Amino acid sequence: MKVLKNYKELSSTVADIVEYQIQDEPLSRLVLPTGSTPIGLYQELVNRELDWSHVITFNLDVYIMNPNHPQSYQTFMKKNLFNRINIYPSNCNFPDRNVEVYEQKLKGTPIDLCILGIGSNGHIAFNEPGSKFDSRTRVVDLSEQTIEDNSRFFDSVDDVPKQAITMGLGTIMESKKIVLMANGKHKLNILNIAINGEQTESVPASILQSHKNVEIYYCD
Ligand code: F6R
């Protein structure tokens, strides 16, 4: 794990990795997260004015809710990144209930770079504790902890969707390179458990110990 000075440095370090990837391979296939952590990364990427015209993206997960809702992950991505770069909307993929189709699209050509955040319970994407290490894209129930954590984005905890569609742990692990970003002291304990603890389905992020090309960046 690399510890960075502050959120600005976390965002620009991961932006460097994305920039290098897109310049090295204009036809890159990227997996992208939502949540609070990558907001600075997306701002940094917008500022860099890269050529996204051949890039294909896949989002890690979506809430089961109206995609036009202000808190949907589709809206988040448009607002923070897609509407501000020259990517083709048809190249921006989100999981939907047709999970087999998403899996087929992902399997077609390997993902070059997958960016992840981590939940306070060790989830990656919305693979909550107990998710199978070989899981694929599917509908999941969100844990109480995740509903509570994400209630900060909604008027009340009751407004947080209870279900989501997420890429699986097995799906994520097929990416050629994985970068996990984490921001805030409240993530440090779970990061240490995921990186140094036993590999167990109770801590979904611990699966990353088995990936041969993973980088983890943290700031307080
Ligand atoms: C969202 C996702 C989640 C988040 C995690 C951390 O697409 O994949 O696993 O990365 O819940 O969220 P924040 O960044 O809000 O702490």
Give the model confidence (pLDDT) of 9-22 as tens digits: 999 999 999 999 99
State whether the beta carbon of 117 lies less than 6 angstroms from ligand 1: yes
pLDDT above 90: percentage of residues in the chain: 100
- Containing 74, the helix (H) or strand (E) segment is helix 73-80
For the residues 184-207, what does the mean pLDDT come to? 98
Coil vs helix vs strand at 163? strand
Q: What's the DSSP call for residue 43?
A: H
Separation of alpha carbons 177 and 114, rounded Å: 6
Whole-number Å distance, alpha carbon 208 to ligand 1 midpoint, is 16
Pick the residue whose CA is nearest to atom 9 on ligand 1. 125
Query: Which phi and psi (to 5°) does residue 46 adopt?
Result: -60, -45
Asked if the model's pLDDT at residue 162 lies above 90, the reply is yes
Separation of alpha carbons 65 and 84, rounded Å: 24
pLDDT of residue 108: 87
For the residues 167-187, what does the mean pLDDT come to? 98
State whether the beta carbon of 123 lies less than 6 angstroms from ligand 1: yes
Q: Quick one: which atom of ligand 1 is closest to the CA of 61?
A: 7
Asked if the model's pLDDT at residue 50 lies above 90, the reply is yes
Whole-number Å distance, alpha carbon 148 to ligand 1 midpoint, is 13
| Tokens standing for residue 44 | 């940094």
For the residues 174-200, what does the mean pLDDT come to? 98
Whole-number Å distance, alpha carbon 197 to ligand 1 midpoint, is 21
Separation of alpha carbons 9 and 205, rounded Å: 23
Q: CA gyration radius for the chain?
A: 16
Give the model confidence (pLDDT) of 129-158 as tens digits: 999 999 999 999 999 999 999 999 999 999
Spell out the residues 6+ positions from residue 141 whose beta carbon is closer than 8 angstroms to its own.
128, 162, 163
Spell out the residues 6+ positions from residue 149 whose beta carbon is closer than 8 angstroms to its own.
119, 120
Note the pTM of the prediction, 2 decimals.
Answer: 0.98
